């Protein structure tokens, strides 16, 4: 599955991913110690919702535009992150994870970004001007391991690939196993698209075999049944989620489900522990 960020900016997957990412960083920041935030597949950093690629799919109408219109206060932090890069009520730009993480930085925190595609890396550097982010142009999986353990005592790694390569899940699994051996206490977030339940179930079984404790999965299925040839949803795997995050998660997930459910479908979004 090829999932290039620019074609899907602001869709339902982005709303869930970025809402949870904000909540996760906020929970980690309840402690004053410095954080290192690492984004291995950063993309362009900022996306034009009126541009050709985003308009070709039109997915923002079922994602960020729904979230902006939804009155639930649990989505306020997400809406604020989107509004921070826009002028006016309607969003025309969408902040990728790099811009959202930059908004969350405290003076003591560190932000490390990486994008291998040369054109996207140029766009990323342009989007991050004026921030304190370090931008790399390396293989994502090599960088992931090279940056561990982080120089600060605590950190967060965000892994958000486009799933262009057929071995993407295998590379994630192998790199996660190696990363956990180097940095067992660190927090890792892995984003993934959901195509069908059988494929996803097989990958979860492989990840369970790594034997990582405190390993959470969040799955957001848009439709009540798999829709052939459609993007059916997305989710996150989270290693070592902090307690404050897990306690606040159920009402946030319900708010996201209600805001994003397609017409005629209830949809589901739920979190469970892979080591159960």
Query: What does the pLDDT read at residue 229?
Result: 62
Q: At what angle do helices 76-83 and 12-28 cross, to 10 degrees?
A: 110
Q: Check if 160 is active-site.
A: yes
Arithmetic mean of pLDDT over the chain: 93
Digit-coded pLDDT (tens) for 230-255: 678 899 999 999 999 999 999 999 99
Are 113 and 95 spatial neighbours (Cβ–Cβ below 8 Å)?
no
Does residue 2 surpass a pLDDT of 50? no
Tokens describing residue 103: 């908004």
Separation between Cα atoms, residue 203 and residue 198, nearest integer Å: 9
Separation between Cα atoms, residue 93 and residue 196, nearest integer Å: 30
Does residue 124 surpass a pLDDT of 80? yes
Query: What does the pLDDT read at residue 164?
Result: 86
Residue bearing the bigger pLDDT, 76 or 8: 76
Does residue 227 surpass a pLDDT of 80? no
Tokens describing residue 219: 């799955």
Digit-coded pLDDT (tens) for 74-90: 999 999 999 999 998 78
Query: What does the pLDDT read at residue 230?
Result: 62
Does residue 275 surpass a pLDDT of 90? no
**223 falls in which pLDDT band (50, 70, 90)?**
confident
Query: What does the pLDDT read at residue 68?
Result: 96
Separation between Cα atoms, residue 236 and residue 133, nearest integer Å: 24
**150 falls in which pLDDT band (50, 70, 90)?**
very high
In the chain, domain spans: 5-273
Low-confidence winner among 61-70, 159-168, 219-228, 248-257 (lowest mean pLDDT) = 219-228
Separation between Cα atoms, residue 62 and residue 16, nearest integer Å: 12
Q: What is the arithmetic mean of pLDDT over 189-213?
A: 92
**56 falls in which pLDDT band (50, 70, 90)?**
confident
Q: Looking at the domain 5-273, which fold is it?
A: Rossmann fold (3.40.50)
**pTM score, whole prediction:** 0.95
Query: What does the pLDDT read at residue 1?
Result: 47
Q: Which residue has the tokens 């992931």?
A: 144
Residue percentage of the chain with pLDDT more than 70:
95
Are 195 and 237 spatial neighbours (Cβ–Cβ below 8 Å)?
no
Digit-coded pLDDT (tens) for 127-146: 999 999 999 999 999 999 99
| Catalytic one of 14, 39, 120, 160 | 160
Residue 146 burial class via C-beta count within 10 angstroms: exposed 0-12, middle 13-18, buried 19 and up: exposed
């Amino acid at each position: 599955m090829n999932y290039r960020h620019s074609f899907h900016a602001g869709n339902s997957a982005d709303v869930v991913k970025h809402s949870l990412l904000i909540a996760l960083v906020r929970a980690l920041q309840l402690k004053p110690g410095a954080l290192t935030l690492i984004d291995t597949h950063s993309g362009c950093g900022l996306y034009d919702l009126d541009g050709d690629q985003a308009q070709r799919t039109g997915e923002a109408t079922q994602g960020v535009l729904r979230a902006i219109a939804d009155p639930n206060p649990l989505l306020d932090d997400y809406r604020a992150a989107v509004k921070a890069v826009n002028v006016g009520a309607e969003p025309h730009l969408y902040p990728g994870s790099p811009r959202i993480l930059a908004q969350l930085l405290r003076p003591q925190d560190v932000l490390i970004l990486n994008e291998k595609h040369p054109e996207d890396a140029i766009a990323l550097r342009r989007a991050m001007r004026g921030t304190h982010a370090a931008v790399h142009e390396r293989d994502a999986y090599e960088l992931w391991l090279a940056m561990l353990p982080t120089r600060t005592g605590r950190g967060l790694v965000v892994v958000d690939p486009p799933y262009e390569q057929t071995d993407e899940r295998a590379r994630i699994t192998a790199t996660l196993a190696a990363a956990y051996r180097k940095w067992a206490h660190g927090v890792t977030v892995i984003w993934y698209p959901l195509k069908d339940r059988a494929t996803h179930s097989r990958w979860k079984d492989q990840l369970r075999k790594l034997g990582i404790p405190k390993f959470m999965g969040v799955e957001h299925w848009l439709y009540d049944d798999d829709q052939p040839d459609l993007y059916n949803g997305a989710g996150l795997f989270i290693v070592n989620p902090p307690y404050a995050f897990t306690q606040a998660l159920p009402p946030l997930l319900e708010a996201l489900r209600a805001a994003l459910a397609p017409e005629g479908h209830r949809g589901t979004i739920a979190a469970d522990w892979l080591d159960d």
